[in-house]
Amino acid sequence: MKILFNSTILGFALLAFNPVAHAADKATAEEATALVKKAIAYMNANGKDKAFAEINEPKGQFTVKDMYIFVNDLHGVTLAHGGNAKLVGKNVMDLKDADGKSFIKEMYDVAGKKGKGWVDYKWVNPVTKAIDAKSTYIEKAGDVIVGAGIYK
């Protein structure tokens, strides 16, 4: 009985410290793309006011794993942000990452030229609080840009 108990405890300990077991908490590129498309569909079906309120809800349907939706207007003003409500109403166009990269401007370049795509930069992970490599998928949807990022 003691051997069975010890084996069970060891199994749980290995699972707890196994990085693959924790990988489920990290969003994937496919999930980011799907979440952006879901947010755009929700905005189109329910209007911007209702969509922005839902996106701003930290425990709402647009915050998944370590990922959240944000919406900016075409001038760089944040209209909704599931990860940091303090950014709503602020112009983030000149925001830079940990390496000094103007990643918001790059998002606008991608949106303007391609309508959608990925931008890589470094950002604080809300789960680990560490500066991590991040990729954000953005789509232009009328007069806004909708995005969601994944940590690598």
pLDDT surpasses 80 at 20 = no
Task: Report domain extents, the chain.
Answer: 26-151
92-138 pLDDT per residue, tens: 999 999 999 999 999 999 999 999 999 999 998 877 889 999 999 99
User: Model confidence over 54-103: pLDDT tens digits?
Assistant: 999 988 999 999 899 999 999 999 999 998 999 999 999 999 999 999 99
**How far is the C-alpha of 58 from the C-alpha of 69, rounded, in Å?**
10
Query: Does pTM top 0.85 for this prediction?
Result: no
What is the b/e burial string over 95-130, where b = at least 16 CB atoms within 10 angstroms of the residue's CB? bebeeeeebbebbbebbeeeebbbbebbbbbeeeee
**Has residue 19 got a pLDDT over 50?**
no
CATH architecture observed for domain 26-151:
2-Layer Sandwich (3.30)
